[in-house]
Amino acid sequence: MDLNEILRVRREKLDTLKKEGRNPFDMTRFDREYTAKELLDNFDKFQDKEVSLAGRIMAKRIMGKASFCHIQDGLERIQLYVRVDELGEDSYSEFKKYDIGDIVGITGLTFVTHMGEKSIRVKSMVLLTKSLQPLPEKFHGLKDMDLRYRQRYVDLIVNPEVKSVFITRAKIIKAIREYMSNLGYLEVETPVLHNQATNANARPFCTHQNTLDIDMYLRIELELNLKKLIVGGLDKIFEIGKVFRNEGMDTRHNPEFTLMEFYEAYGDLYTMMDRAEQIYCYVADNVLGTRQIDFQGQIINLESPWRRLTMIEAVKEYSGVDFDSFTLDDEAAKKAAKEKNVHVESHWNWGMILNAFFEEYVEKNLIQPTFIYQYPIEISPLAKRNKDKPHLTERFEFFILASEMGNAFSELNDPVDQKERLIAQAKSKFGEYEFTIDEDFINALEIGMPPTGGMGLGVERMIMLFTNSSSIRDVMFFPTMKPESNG
């Protein structure tokens, strides 16, 4: 064994305890009355009362016959004052052997130190878990991003702000559920394993079911199954679930992420615009208590109404090119693209080039919440056509911090038009990966889906905004990592 001194000493301490019949791993239970947070928040009520609590030793200051240490439980850190004359010679010398990282249970009296810190004067202490590895340094914490993601449990112990991000994450998702439930939405769950790779321009993950001996796909969206439920008469539904996209990874994309989709029968994209504003404001009010959010020094104002621009208006404003002046003229669009240095492929048409202009000139400017609506039909196969402009759709996306935060439309419910558009999309994807049409979805539309508004929200993007996080990896406990090689 080539263990270094720190590891060796801790193992020897454990061996000694085992030999003396006091193996800490034999402990099964410790009845703690309070958490550190409960004690600290209501400290006056406990003045000079005996309490019990448990936690991990995070710092130790031994001063001969008396010592201070800090223990940390789920939410807070509290100071212990340990004296030999209160604990007894044997227990006190045991305590001196405890290491930072060990987990102890204690009883003691609350008191305030001369320096004014709320503390516990310990009457008894028992070792509940022996830590065999050293924790990172108390002052700098764990900084190495690779280690923080791979050993998130250590990150959570030593970097308190990390825990706070994930507590906020949980509050956000709880608030979303509350809001949807208050509006009469039913939460549903649909399968993660799909038989077909359908819809959405994203490559799927493939897997295999052994009993049926069939290839299956991890879902890349929730959309088609939820719309089938709308057909089935569940008029207001939402799902919050993991989806999987086999695409690039960066600070805004992780291969698996949490998507929320919701559908409301008899609503349309304007209903969905209201919902987007309302959800963000409800979460802001309930989680942060303000609708002005400080993100890396920029103040994001979530107060509704948000700015609403058609894609054509937005492109005109930020690039100076008016696509209304050459509607559906592919050659004029290509000429404009050349003049404005927008990269286009030879087979692209007016709508695709409009979208390219949007991505090149507009998206990066959309810092404050902004709805962009009337997307071109070529890139919106599941949205209804605009009645007056059939080359555009009743679709919007909304942007905050130049990032797409959600995507919504008046759902296309014409089964004939839908099938044609899915076939067109499938053809355009031919050869890239296997892509098929969900005939059952078409069948459902033939049974009849009411006019419906639907939206998808990237939950991590929202959490990033609310937790001031610049990377999606900072709001996921275990982001996707390459396996460590043996070098």
Partner RNA sequence: GGGACAUUAGCUCAGGCGGUAGAGCACUUGACUUUUAAUCAAGGUGUCCGGAGUUCGAGUCUCCGAUGUCUCACCA
- Per CB under 7 A, contacts with RNA among 53-82 are 59-66, 68, 79, 81
Q: Which is nearer to RNA, 147 or 206 (CB)?
A: 147
Based on the shown chain and the rule CB under 7 A, indicate whether residue 153 belongs to the binding site for RNA.
no
Q: Whole-number minimum distance, CB 84 to RNA, in Å? A: 6
Based on the shown chain and the rule CB under 7 A, indicate whether residue 83 belongs to the binding site for RNA.
yes
Q: Which of 9, 122, 103, 106 is nearest to 57 (CA)?
A: 103
Q: How far is CA 447 from CA 222, 223, 442, in A?
A: 20, 17, 9
Based on the shown chain and the rule CB under 7 A, indicate whether residue 42 belongs to the binding site for RNA.
no
Based on the shown chain and the rule CB under 7 A, indicate whether residue 368 belongs to the binding site for RNA.
no
Site for RNA in 99-128 (CB under 7 A): 99-100, 111, 113-117, 119
Measured CA to CA, the distance from residue 194 to residue 211 in angstroms comes to 15
Q: Whole-number minimum distance, CB 404 to RNA, in Å? A: 6
Tokens of 411: 């759902």
Q: Whole-number minimum distance, CB 185 to RNA, in Å? A: 21
Based on the shown chain and the rule CB under 7 A, indicate whether residue 306 belongs to the binding site for RNA.
no
In the β-sheet with 186-187, what is the strand arrangement from edge to edge? 186-187, 236-244, 256-265, 452-458, 403-410, 395-400, 370-373, 307-310
Long-range contacts of 45-51 (CB under 8 A, 24+ apart): 46/110, 47/110, 47/111, 48/109, 48/110, 48/111, 49/109, 49/110, 50/107, 50/108, 50/109, 50/123, 51/107, 51/108, 51/109, 51/110, 51/120
Options 25-33, 132-140, 263-271, 305-313: segment touching RNA (CB under 7 A): 132-140
Q: Which is nearer to RNA, 11 or 236 (CB)?
A: 11
Q: Which of 275, 304, 254 is nearest to 469 (CA)?
A: 254
Q: Which amino acid is at 344?
A: V
Q: Whole-number minimum distance, CB 201 to RNA, in Å? A: 2
Based on the shown chain and the rule CB under 7 A, indicate whether residue 455 belongs to the binding site for RNA.
no
Based on the shown chain and the rule CB under 7 A, indicate whether residue 404 belongs to the binding site for RNA.
yes
**Residue bearing tokens 């994450």:** 169
368 DSSP assignment: S
Tokens of 10: 């801790």
Based on the shown chain and the rule CB under 7 A, indicate whether residue 435 belongs to the binding site for RNA.
no
Options 41-49, 246-254, 307-315, 441-449: segment touching RNA (CB under 7 A): 246-254
Here's the x/- map for RNA, 261-300, by CB under 7 A: it reads as ----------------------------------------
Burial degree of 100 (CB within 10 A; 0-12, 13-18, 19+): middle
Based on the shown chain and the rule CB under 7 A, indicate whether residue 407 belongs to the binding site for RNA.
yes
- Site size toward RNA, by CB under 7 A: 71
Based on the shown chain and the rule CB under 7 A, indicate whether residue 49 belongs to the binding site for RNA.
no
**Beta strands in 6-133, from DSSP E residues, in sequence order:** 50-63, 66-72, 77-83, 103-112, 118-129
Options 206-214, 233-241, 301-309, 377-385: segment touching RNA (CB under 7 A): 377-385
Q: Which is nearer to RNA, 29 or 482 (CB)?
A: 482
Backbone phi, psi, residue 176, to 5°:
-60, -45
Site for RNA in 161-200 (CB under 7 A): 199-200
Based on the shown chain and the rule CB under 7 A, indicate whether residue 367 belongs to the binding site for RNA.
no
Options 245-253, 273-281, 283-291, 298-306: segment touching RNA (CB under 7 A): 245-253
Q: Which is nearer to RNA, 6 or 328 (CB)?
A: 6
